[in-house]
Amino acid sequence: MGESLVITSGKGGVGKTTATANIGAALAMMNQKVVLVDADIGLRNLDVVMGLENRIVYDLVDVVEGFCKLKQALIKDKRVEGLYLLPAAQTREKTAVTPEQMKNLVGQLKEEFDYVIVDCPAGIEQGFRNAVAGADRAIVITTPDVSSVRDADRVIGLLESAGFEGPLLVVNRIKPKMVDRGDMMDIGDILDVLAIDLIGVVPEDETILVSTNRGEPAVFNGSSRAGQAFRNIARRLRGEEVPFMNLAEVQGLWGRLRKFVGLE
Amino acid sequence: MSLFRRSNSGDVARERLRIVLMQDRISLAPQLMERMKEDLVDVISRYVDVDRGKIEVEWRRTGGEPALVANIPVRSVKRGVASDDRAS
């Protein structure tokens, strides 16, 4: 029996889909059997981020409505053993599925997979309720800005009243240089107000956009700093103790050199 | 507040976030405000006779800090409160 995780944020555009793709791919690279579920019905994107958009035949709503078997709708990722995608329907609405149906679906997937990772849509309406319905644990993503942290706080409240114990926090798109000069909230500031456990800090990284352009998760790229951060998150989810990345190093050799010679 | 003020915007963000979350959390929990009101009245009633129906507790923002402002009409003061106070 596997474990189900929902990746959520409240606010859109903070990196839920990117995190789902990368954490899932990283877990598969650790020899786990993983299925990614796109719960964003009507606005599917996980297929594109994964580069699997051309292989969709059936989708989540087809499965729920009994139009096809669950196995028929799963797309196997050929780049890494044990990684699958269950795509969302694009031409339907969030109300095409109920929380009860999602719970059943995730329950079935947990029998086959070690990890079922659900990509939650933005917002706190039915799409959110569907996405969290079958999840054992929740990961909340935020970026270091006021509106995103505020929405994360709201979502944490909703998760707690839905019975989730200890949602985990990922702070995405940190810019160490901006934090250094005091123009960005740091991790401590965010943890102070949200008061939940941190599971990852992901630096802002151009390789993410490049990997999305190509449809190749950044964790497949050994030199991507963000990819490294997502691999670390996957290891922590597996119970490993992994120290948090030294963000000063994220600036790279040039940054450190400038600091050394006193240019910064 | 000047647009060109040379203050670190990270500090500004942290402060704004702190205040907005305080307000969000309290407005999401109206029953919590009610309970707090009841508790306040219970404590104050030990000393003075208050009009329970006319109590108002609300958030006000004067300057930067949000403040809880309570308006509790007092009907009468119990005899002996003052002497009790002096005795202790």
Which segment of A23-27, A77-81, A143-147, B35-39 scores lowest on mean pLDDT? B35-39
pLDDT in tens, A199-238: 999 999 999 999 999 999 999 999 999 999 999 999 999 9
Chain A residues touching B5 at Cβ < 8 A: none
pLDDT in tens, A158-176: 999 999 999 999 999 999 9
- Asked if residue A7 lies in contact with residue A117, where contact means CB atoms within 8 angstroms, the answer is yes
pLDDT in tens, B15-43: 889 888 988 887 777 788 788 888 888 99
Angle between helices B30-45 and B9-27 (to 10 degrees): 80
pLDDT value of residue B84: 53
A239: left (phi over 0), alpha (psi -120 to 50) or beta: left
Boundaries of every domain in chain B = 9-79
Residue A260: band (very low, low, confident or very high) from pLDDT cuts 50, 70, 90: low
Closest alpha carbon within chain A to B29: A157
What is the reported pTM?
0.83
Query: Which structural domains are found in chain A, ordered by start?
Result: 3-260 (3.40.50.300)
Chains A, B: CB contacts under 8 A, how many?
A: 44
Q: Is A93 on the interface with B (CB under 8 A)?
A: no
Vertex A94: Cα angle to A170 and B21 (nearest 5): 40
Closest to A119 measured CA to CA, from A236, A5, A14, A2? A5
Residue A251: band (very low, low, confident or very high) from pLDDT cuts 50, 70, 90: low
Nearest to B24 among A153, A183, A184 (CB): A153
Closest alpha carbon within chain A to B21: A150
* Portion 13-72 of B in contact with A at CB < 8 A: 13-14, 16-18, 20-21, 24-25, 28
Give the rounded percent of residues in chain A with a pLDDT score beyond 90: 92
Mean pLDDT of A177-197: 94
pLDDT in tens, B63-84: 667 788 888 888 888 776 555 5
Q: Is A177 on the interface with B (CB under 8 A)?
A: no
The residue that leads in pLDDT, A247 or A242, is: A242
pLDDT value of residue B80: 66
CA distance A174 to A120: 22
Interface predicted TM-score (ipTM): 0.79
Interchain contact, A185 vs B10, CB within 8 Å = yes
* Portion 183-242 of A in contact with B at CB < 8 A: 183-186, 189, 193
Closest alpha carbon within chain A to B23: A150
pLDDT value of residue B87: 46
Going from the C-alpha of B6 to that of each of A144, B24, B45, the distances in angstroms are: 20, 29, 50
DSSP type of residue A144: S
Mean pLDDT of A129-135: 97
pLDDT value of residue B67: 80
Mean pLDDT of A234-257: 76
pLDDT in tens, A48-103: 999 999 999 999 999 999 999 999 999 999 999 999 999 999 999 999 999 999 99
Interchain contact, A157 vs B28, CB within 8 Å = yes
The three-state DSSP-derived secondary structure of A43-76 is: CCCHHHHHCCHHHCCCCHHHHHCCCCCHHHHCEE
Name residue, tokens 């002497």. Answer: B83
pLDDT value of residue A263: 55
Best residue of A151, A153, A187 to probe chain B, by most B CBs closer than 10 Å: A153
pLDDT value of residue A253: 57
pLDDT value of residue A70: 97
